[in-house]
Chain A
Amino acid sequence: MSTNNILQYKEFSSFVNISFWHELSSKKLDVLKLNDEPIPLNSHYTFSPSQQLDPFLCLEFNGFQQTLKQSQQHKSHASNNNNENYYNVPNRSYLVPGTLLNYNTAEDFKQSPKTKLFEDASKKIWSDIVLGFVDKDMTLLNRFILITYADIKNHQFYYLFGIPALLPPQPIQQFEETKSLLQFYNKDQIKSTFMNNPVPQYFYLVGGSENEPFEIKNFEDSLTANEEYFKAHDGSREDNIPTVGFCDPCSLPSNPGWPLRNFLIYLIVKYQIKRVRVVCFRGVSLSSSEIETNSIVLSLTLPEIDGNITPEWSGKSVGWEKDNNGKIAPRFISLASTMDPLKLASQSVDLNLKLMRWRVMPSLNLEAIKDTKCLLLGSGTLGCNVARCLMSWGVRNITFVDSSKVSYSNPVRQSLFTFDDCTPKNKEKSVAAAEALKKIFPAVNAKAEVFSIPMPGHSVPKHEHDNVKATFEKLEQLIKEHDVVYLLTDSRESRWLPTLLCRANNKLLINAALGFDSYLVIRHGIRNALSQKESDDGCDLGCYFCNDVIAPTDTLKDRTLDQMCTVTRPGLSMIASSIAVELLISTLHHPLGGRAPAETDTDVYKQASTPLGIVPHQLRGFLSHYQTLPLFSNPYKNCTACSDFIVNEFNQNGFNFILNVMNDSSILTKVAGIDELKNSEVTIDWDLDDILSDDE
């Protein structure tokens, strides 16, 4: 034997489960409030599954519960509560009781008398040993203190763990090398001793001469039997060394875990043991009839404690939990991700969408959707419903533009508004819509702009020029900042400028318009810049105005979509809005994006171009016969909104051109070259009544 055979123990690592902090938070809010009295806790340890894992002391949501035994001891003054839940120690685990000291402020936490609290806990262990309480309840040998500061507002917790071990006068020495349990006893003995009986936390082994099995004696069973046994086996001679054991959370090959420390003090104080063999029991298993265990046996020389033993402890103790650097410092846990409702909502929303990807469509590009910035021009029924549907798809950036206010007739149809938005003061629609989105999902980035879109034929008086110019610039800026523009306004004229601006800035525009029982959803595809001639990829598509000028000759002719929009079947807006959103999602999934060629329903039977199916150009739906038609039209070379003539004119003259159009819309037909056409059927009436602009 070498000279230095000091036995070294592996410390506990605390594992405070997240559920404990949740429980502490709710207790603090509902029960404890500002009370900072010590609170009894219960934790447990179990056998460590591998050498790489620390021995963990586990504190969980049920840490505040008392065991049946504990509650019976306090029964004298407690009311008869049958419904109480008791702390149950899990299978193959062992109880470690403790005390929580929670402080209300960081300052209190800092100022708390930590050293004294630790000493008090140590003294309690000592007096429980000396006064005989441990004899009946061996769990009193291990006790922890937990000092916390719960910053509930920020979901942050600071904590310090202490698991006091009383120090003997001198360190405990090993008089023989550590041996494996398998080296120490034969297999049959081990099997019959440890596999057929439940193993208590602390025990001693009786009998076992030759190959007989041992009898496991629980310390708590009979004090008289214990006293008799240890009187005869005090380790003073080679042949009367007692064999004790404990359930060991450590799994290292030559070191025991922390619960042995106070147990040895107990043996010294209570039974004056000189030498002892200790079975560090770590479970025994049978694998194809071979015994497997990493339990070890220690042979220890125990020091004597000089002088009178009194219940007053005057020795030293150790056992603060330390950080990586061996410093005693509070640990920190932030549970914002599991407690902050905002973060939780975001996580859940994302996860639900991912579900769709995992389950149905692995190629779903949720990131592209999430990153898409949407500008919603118009915050009426269409704007509200489109926004809700975009949000369902995980779109996080939505900007509303509208100039009107929420009126009493709006909330029933316009799904983001409520009665409160109309009174006591009518809120701006775009502002109310953005607020509503944030109420529904706080992580959404919803913004609001209040202005009306300049319209052709709505002449601008001189003194208004600067204002209209500012509005125009604002609109162009917004279009540049967003990836997709939804055109959801209520009048035909208000759609002209955004159509032109999107065309000039190469932005995808999705336009939705309602009739009484029919709707139109059309995407204005991205076109290449004018300088860049005929593109090799993708396809140019007609815009709302192209289509209108050369409108399909059908029954809609005498009731254009816009004219009817204040009186529409209420379900129509939801249908059109949903289609407008789904059209965007499909387009985003097409490799050519906004330049995806138009597909019609016949393409469904070919191989679809996106995982979601076809990407149509425009959809016209008729509630009267419940039908939706995917249609397609080419750009019209003389279109008054998107033709090269107009775009060139705009690029050259900028706002001045816009201003001229505002003052005299007939310029448009001139510039677009329609006037040169001899076709008398093509007429455009820009001077629509303005009666519709207050609603929808």
Chain B
Amino acid sequence: MLTLKDFNEQSNVLLTRWNQCVNSSNEIGWSWIKINNDTGYLTTKRFFNNIDNNNNISNVDNIDNNNNNSNIFNKEEIIEESDESVLKSNQTSKTIVIEYDIIYNKSYRVPVLYLNGCYLKQSTTEPLSWDELWSLLPLSCFDKQQLSSTPYITQVEHPILGVPTYQLHPCETNNLMEQILLLKNKIKKTNNNDNDNSTNRDNNDNNNNIKNYLLSWLTIISPMVNIKIPLHLIKEYSNN
């Protein structure tokens, strides 16, 4: 379990280190949204082009074609100076934005991942329906294999924004993390036995584990929801 103080501190460290490691534009960085002096949360979003999901998104196209906004506004009302310096593009973009928020849950005392998505078209923005969002998550494939460690997803109100959003349910997080931290300790201990090392080192390990709670958790969660962790980051953490 993680205290709020630990969460805030680890978020701060994670954010700084992570963002230092983000160099290329296709890696995402995190931001800290401050709520008040002792609460806040991590947030990021990912833009990507929707290539082959026509089936899932087709209903959105229909909505767009209906063009039910035409009556509210006379299209000829604004005429702009023609400007040859504007790049003409015939490309109609089909962009999907997925947002991720990591928020501390006080009753479970663990970090919780919230996610939401929307679909951008030239003349509208559509929230992704559950089925659309689900089909985009690698988690949907995980689940087919019925892995026991996959987390529950539920629709909830965003604890801070009040917007409907999806959360990876925190009920299993603690169990999962205990196993991970236990495993880490075992590995360390085996190594220690090999090296015939002292208990002094064990204490350090425990500290390390708690210190890396947020990152450890994120490394497990992220592949399920398409967050790429910069390789540099892991290197850096393991060096320290």
Contacts and interface: CB of A to CB of B under 8 A. Distances in A.
B143 A167 contact: no
A630 to B, nearest CB: 29
Contacts of B162: 22, 26
Contacts of B23: 195, 283-286
Interface residues of B, number: 69
B48 A53 contact: yes
A62 interface: yes
A348 interface: yes
A85 B163 contact: no
A108 B44 CA distance: 36
A47 B73 contact: no
19 contacts: A8-B86, A9-B86, A10-B89, A22-B161, A50-B48, A52-B49, A91-B30, A114-B78, A286-B23, A327-B75, A329-B70, A329-B75, A331-B123, A331-B124, A338-B127, A344-B164, A351-B130, A355-B152, A355-B154
A329 B64 CA distance: 14
A318 B81 contact: yes
Most buried by A among B22, B24, B33, B158: B24
Given A286-B23, A335-B127, A351-B154, A114 B77 contact: yes
Contacts of A23: 161
B84 to A, nearest CB: 6
Contact of B24 (A19, A285, A324): A285
Nearest to A328: B78
A17 B33 CA distance: 16
Interface string A16-59: 11110011001000000000000000000001111011101000
Nearest to B95: A53
Interface of A: 6-11, 13, 15-19, 22-23, 26, 47-50, 52-54, 56, 61-62, 83, 85, 88, 90-92, 106, 109-110, 114-115, 149, 158, 167, 171-172, 195, 251-252, 255, 261, 282-287, 292, 294, 316-318, 320, 323-324, 327-335, 337-338, 344, 347-348, 350-352, 355, 358-359, 362
A53 B84 contact: no
Contacts of A110: 72-74, 77
B29 interface: yes
B200 interface: no
Contacts of B75: 327-329
User: Majority SS of interface residues in chain A?
Assistant: mixed
B127 A337 contact: yes
Nearest to B87: A8
Contacts of B70: 329
A11 B86 contact: yes
B146 interface: yes
B25 interface: yes
Contacts of A337: 127, 129
Contacts of B58: none
Interface string B97-120: 101000000000000000010101
B240 interface: no
B93 A318 contact: no
Given A324-B92, A324-B123, A332-B123, A318 B83 contact: yes
A19 to B, nearest CB: 5
A158 B95 contact: no
A109 B78 CA distance: 13
Contacts of A106: 72
Nearest to A291: B23
Interface string B53-86: 0000000000100001110111101111101111
A88 B24 contact: no
B99 to A, nearest CB: 8
A109 B127 contact: no
Nearest to A172: B85
Most buried by B among A11, A50, A53: A53
Interface of B: 15, 19, 22-26, 29-37, 43-44, 46-49, 63, 68-70, 72-75, 77-81, 83-87, 89, 91-93, 95, 97, 99, 116, 118, 120, 122-127, 129-130, 143, 146, 152-155, 158, 161-164
Nearest to A317: B81
A29 to B, nearest CB: 12
Contact of A92 (B22, B91, B152, B158): B22
Nearest to A257: B87
B123 A7 contact: no
Contacts of A261: 85
Given A8-B86, A172-B85, A54 B95 contact: yes
A323 B123 contact: yes
Contact of B97 (A15, A327, A335): A15
B87 to A, nearest CB: 4
A316 to B, nearest CB: 5
B93 A338 contact: no
Contacts of B24: 283, 285, 287, 292
A109 B44 CA distance: 33
A330 B163 contact: no
Contact of B36 (A7, A83, A347): A83
B60 to A, nearest CB: 11
B48 to A, nearest CB: 7
Given A106-B72, A344-B164, A18 B25 contact: no
Given A22-B162, A49-B26, A149 B72 contact: yes
A88 B34 contact: yes
10 cross-chain pairs, A with B, having the tightest CB-CB distances, nearest first: A285-B23, A332-B69, A285-B24, A91-B29, A90-B31, A8-B87, A49-B26, A47-B25, A324-B122, A328-B78
B25 A251 contact: yes
A255 B77 CA distance: 30
B69 A158 contact: yes
Contacts of B154: 348, 351-352, 355
B125 A48 contact: no
A91 B80 contact: no
Contact of A56 (B47, B78, B85, B153): B47
A330 B127 contact: no
A13 B89 contact: no
Given A6-B85, A285-B24, A320 B69 contact: no
A18 B153 contact: no
Contacts of B152: 355, 358-359
A261 B129 CA distance: 38
A434 to B, nearest CB: 27
Contacts of A287: 24
A106 B74 CA distance: 12
Nearest to B69: A332
A48 B127 contact: no
A332 B163 contact: no
A252 to B, nearest CB: 8
B69 A331 contact: yes
Nearest to B116: A18
Given A8-B85, A110-B73, A50 B26 contact: yes
Contacts of B31: 88, 90-91
B217 to A, nearest CB: 20
A348 B86 CA distance: 45
